[in-house]
Amino acid sequence: MSNPDDLWPENIADANLITPVTILKEQAALLGEKTKQLVTGEVVTQTSGSLFVHYFYIVAPTLNYTFELFQVSHGINFYPLILRHLNTTTQLTSESEFKDKLKEILSSQHTLNVVHSILAQVRS
Amino acid sequence: MPRFLFWNLNKREIPGFVHNLARQEDADVLILAECRIPPAQLLEQLNADSSDYHYAPGNCGHLVFFTRFNARFLTPLFESHRISIRRLQLPARQPILVAAAHLPSKLNYSDADQVFESVHLAAMIDEVERREGHQRTILLGDLNMNPFESGMVAARGGLHAVMDRRVAARLTRTVQKQKYKFFYNPMWSHLGDSGNSGGTFYFENGEPVCYFWNIFDQVLLRPDLLDGFAHEHVRILTEVHGYSLLEDDGRPDKTMASDHLPVLLELNF
């Protein structure tokens, strides 16, 4: 029996959306797996007013070294989302656009250089 | 059930042994003393097959930590040159304290000196327990004392570690009208011929008193954790992937591996 005083819809708790931070954390974990955990990814989230801001770091745990690769901010609806990378700000309107942009950044020469340099530093 | 492995490597560069031992024993938390192997090199070796070990950074000069858990779950709360006390907070489990120590050697310290080191270690553990608001604590390490030595068993500042879990389960003992918390020390049961080795460290000299075998590498538990601990959950390890860590005469093979034997703890909490 439904409670007449309960004004919430039945599906209020059915959340199966993929959040941007989930996508970021998956990529962060994958970097560690690929480098034997010598270089890992780390996502730190802060809230600022109604905005969520996610910082994506490249980390060398054995050196206690952290490098900010890019940051992402979005409101309660996830998209449009703002991505800041190398002094460039891009607005992304959907999950697929976000993933495409992430792929572009993670496979860029700049990211490769950063990861390779940190790896070399870790091993030296 | 989480598994904790402690090994004093005696400054030997034996990353292959460490890798094989950690994998053989499915160690979730690996704590090494006298480790001269650079952490990155050891991490690469540990993850040679799959990348599930993480370096858990800290500032303890004598101890290094690796874990298969997220390294953020193993947070340093107190660290000094020879002591590291960390909070292990696993999802859906109560937090515990993992205290590790490598106390000074008998080569450089008198019995009295070692008692003072024990008092310092016990005080640091007590302080962190007060701050954290619980006493779910394990202590692992090369304490450079046997379970029966004063620094291990004494109350009034010592570790107050007893051989009988029923005694430890009384939680405290009153001495001179003050209460002192117990540790349970399961290592007492491993002295002598009960296992493959007589202890974790062998030392023989010409002095009148010589124990030959010593258990310097120990695991201690607070009574609050005893429900998740059984006698067989602590083991002195003598074999790695079919290679014995002992020489033919039964002593630790320090030319191949370390002069200390590793100790494993399994604990449900």
pLDDT of A96 above 70: yes
Q: Is B31 helix (H, G, I), strand (E, B) or coil?
A: strand
Nearest CB to A61; choose among B38, B48, B57: B57
Give A39's pLDDT tier (boundaries 50, 70, 90).
very high
Q: Say whether pLDDT at A2 is over 80.
A: no
Could you tell me which of B52, B3, B47, B11 has the C-alpha nearest to residue B32?
Answer: B11
* Angle (CA) B200 B236 B37, round 5°: 70
Q: Is 90 exceeded by the pLDDT of residue A17?
A: no
User: According to the model, what pLDDT value does residue A16 have?
Assistant: 82
pLDDT tier, A35 (very low <50, low <70, confident <90, very high otherwise): very high
Tell me the three-class secondary structure of A37-85, residue by residue.
CCCEEEEEEEEECCEEEEEEEEEECCCCEEEEEEEEEECCCCCCEEEEE
- Distance from the A16 Cα atom to the nearest Cα atom in chain B, whole angstroms: 21
The neighbouring-strand residues paired with B100 are: B84, B140
Bridge partners (DSSP) of residue B202 are B213
Contacts of B192 (CB under 8 A, 6+ apart): B198, B213
Please give the pLDDT value at position B161: 98
Residues in a beta bridge with B141: B101, B218
Nearest by CB: A36 against B39, B44, B71? B44
pLDDT digits (tens, 9 = 90+) for B57-106: 999 999 999 999 999 999 999 999 999 999 999 999 999 999 999 999 99
Query: CB-based contact (8 Å) between B53 and chain A?
Result: yes
From first to last of its 269 residues, chain B has per-residue pLDDT tens of 999 999 999 999 999 999 999 999 999 999 999 999 999 999 999 999 999 999 999 999 999 999 999 999 999 999 999 999 999 999 999 999 999 999 999 999 999 999 999 999 999 999 999 999 999 999 999 999 999 999 999 999 999 999 999 999 999 999 999 999 999 999 999 999 888 999 999 999 999 999 999 999 999 999 999 999 999 999 999 999 999 999 999 999 999 999 999 999 999 99
H-run or E-run covering B76: strand B74-79
Radius of gyration, alpha carbons of chain A: 18
Alpha-helical (H) ranges within chain B are 15-24, 39-46, 111-132, 150-153, 165-168
What's residue A3's pLDDT? 85
Query: B136: exposed, middle or buried (C-beta count within 10 Å: 0-12, 13-18, 19+)?
Result: buried
List chain B residues with CB under 8 Å of A61.
54-57, 71
Distance from B40 to chain A by nearest Cα, in Å?
Answer: 6
**Residue B190 in tokens:** 């491993």
- CB nearest to A36's CB, from B51, B56, B57: B51
Question: Nearest to residue B55, comparing CAs of A64, A62, A39, A59?
Answer: A62
- Which domains, ranges and CATH numbers included, belong to chain B? 3-266 (3.60.10.10)
The pLDDT of residue A1:
62
pLDDT over 90 (residue A4): no
Pair of tokens at residue A50: 């109604």
Nearest CA to A78 out of A50, A55, A117 is that of A50
Region A72-83: mean pLDDT is 96
User: B121: Cβ–Cβ under 8 A, 6 or more apart, which residues?
Assistant: B83, B99, B101, B103, B139, B143, B159
The first and second tokens of residue B198, run together, are 């007589």
CA-nearest residue to B39 within chain A is A62
Q: Cβ B43–A37 below 8 Å, yes or no? A: yes
B172 touches chain A (CB under 8 A): no
Band of pLDDT at residue A13, cut at 50, 70 and 90: confident
Q: Is the peptide bond before A80 cis (omega within 30 degrees of 0)?
A: yes
